Amino acid sequence: MVDKLVEKTAPAVQLETEARTKGERTRTRLLDVAYDSIVHKGFAATSIEELVEAAGITKSGFFYHFKDKNDLARQLFDRFLGEDEGIIETLETRARELSDDPLQSFLIFLNLYAQMMDDMETLHPGCMVASITYQERMFDADVHQMNVDYLLRMRERFTRWLSEIAESNPPRQEVDLSALADNLTGIVEGAIILSKALNDEGLMGRQTRLYRNHIKLLFGG
């Protein structure tokens, strides 16, 4: 009896799994298309119509996955931040595994970060953080707060690491560690814009290495 029940329910479970997988692929495709459009043209210039056409679905298909355009933005930004922070976490873990010394591990981290930028096959298309900041009025309060929270997390992460460095290697001149932490984020965001404007694929890596040299000089590494 149980075997017959399993035989009857198995196809239904398979169909449900296939539908869910197809739905996830469609949602991912929509997010990919939206990211490319937003960082190239802006949020206001990105229409639901062009997204559904590019994804090969109907408009009702879009609203199956997202309540509205702002919901799309929230989910897209959440994915972007998760991926970005995942990369930072992975590089930090690797750097700290290679050295127990906070300064040396931070220098290793910056080198790994620069190498990652060097290995990008094409110019970075843009950054959601910059896009949302520049087009703040186009996004709702939730997206704006996500942006602020992310930047504060980056500040806290790097300030904490720099504080570890300062304890064992006092800086050669007085420095605001929070500002120094923000400096790294500012360099990365600015380098994305410069590399795109100047069509210079190596600019992001070079700018990160300049920051690395500044850290070495400041803390005597």
| pLDDT-above-90 percentage for the chain | 41
pLDDT score of 15: 41
- Report the alpha-carbon distance of residue 62 to residue 135 in Å, rounded: 23
- DSSP-H helix ranges across the chain: 2-41, 48-55, 59-65, 69-98, 102-118, 128-134, 141-168, 177-198, 203-219
For 50-96, the pLDDT digits (tens) are: 998 988 888 988 899 999 888 988 888 888 888 889 999 999 999 99
pLDDT score of 126: 57
**196 vs 18, higher pLDDT:** 196
| pLDDT-above-70 percentage for the chain | 84
Sign of torsion over alpha carbons 9, 13, 18, 19:
positive
- Report the alpha-carbon distance of residue 191 to residue 198 in Å, rounded: 10
pLDDT score of 193: 83
In this structure, are residues 27 and 119 in contact, taking their beta carbons and an 8 Å threshold? no
Binning pLDDT at 50, 70 and 90, where does residue 43 land?
Answer: confident
Q: Tokens standing for 38? A: 């937003």
For 151-189, the pLDDT digits (tens) are: 999 999 999 999 999 999 999 999 999 999 999 999 988
The DSSP output letter for 120 is -
- Report the alpha-carbon distance of residue 132 to residue 120 in Å, rounded: 23
Residue 129 has pLDDT above 80, yes or no: no
